[in-house]
Chain A
Amino acid sequence: DIVLTQSPALAVSLGQRATISCRASQSVSISRYNLMHWYQQKPGQQPKLLIYRASNLASGIPARFSGSGSGTDFTLTINPVQADDIATYYCQQSRESPPTFGGGTKLELK
């Protein structure tokens, strides 16, 4: 299985930039497609898709969220961070079966 590694937590101030990283144990890119997706999850809720295929904003997601990366290294950026963004963020790869999720990064207020 492809293992996705995320830092467990990140502390950020409101109005600042948050950069959340995800590293894959092997490439999750095929040709021009980077098969990495990002989700936000708040307590008691199901995950919400933020970014698909590394850099595409999902429907209804604010433009302060963006994604980048290719191969094995990917980044989710939130700029500026708002209070409503305090949550846990997961990356997920669909390059190889089984699809796997990272361990999650909990975004906290500094």
Chain B
Amino acid sequence: EVKLLESGGGLVQPGGSLRLSCAASGFTFTDFYMSWIRQPPGKAPEWLGVIRNKANGYTTEYNPSVKGRFTISRDNTQNILYLQMNTLRAEDTAIYYCARQTTEGIAYWGQGTLVTVSS
């Protein structure tokens, strides 16, 4: 069974940093592209970026809206996906989901972790 479990969310002050983690299980982690997607309260999801699979060299791609502030990485020995977020702003307040991304849509999402940016 595919499982994705995010952690690391919480309250952070504007200008601060936070690192989210996503523990993956139930599939061969290195075979898949992994993404981060966020959803502000009451709004639509927003794709943040992807880290590709082993066959594609684990390269990354980001939404221009967060490029330069957010960094996606992965630990392929422990099957963990990371999202490093810097210079956080109030508008970064959202539920953050990790997801397994394929050409057949996003069939697997984590349960999400809430990040609140506020003083």
Residues of A with Cβ closer than 8 Å to B?
35, 37, 39, 46-49, 51-53, 56, 58-59, 90, 92, 94, 97-104
Contact = CB atoms under 8 A, between A and B. Distances in A.
A43 to B, nearest CB: 10
Contacts of A100: 47
A102 B44 CA distance: 7
B110 A46 contact: yes
Contacts of A58: 105, 107
Given A56-B104, A58-B107, A98-B64, A46 B47 contact: no
Q: Is the interface of A mostly helix, strand, loop or mixed?
A: loop
B29 interface: no
Interface string B14-56: 0000000000000000000000000000001111000000000
Contacts of A102: 44
A37 B102 CA distance: 11
A46 to B, nearest CB: 4
Interface residues of B, number: 18
A22 to B, nearest CB: 12
Contact of A98 (B47, B97, B105): B47
B106 interface: yes
B47 A90 contact: no
B61 to A, nearest CB: 6
Nearest to A104: B44
A95 to B, nearest CB: 11
Given A52-B104, A94-B103, A98-B63, A47 B46 contact: no
B58 interface: no
A94 B64 contact: no
B105 A52 contact: yes
Contacts of B104: 37, 52-53, 56
Contacts of B105: 37, 39, 49, 51-53, 58, 92, 94
Contacts of A94: 103, 105
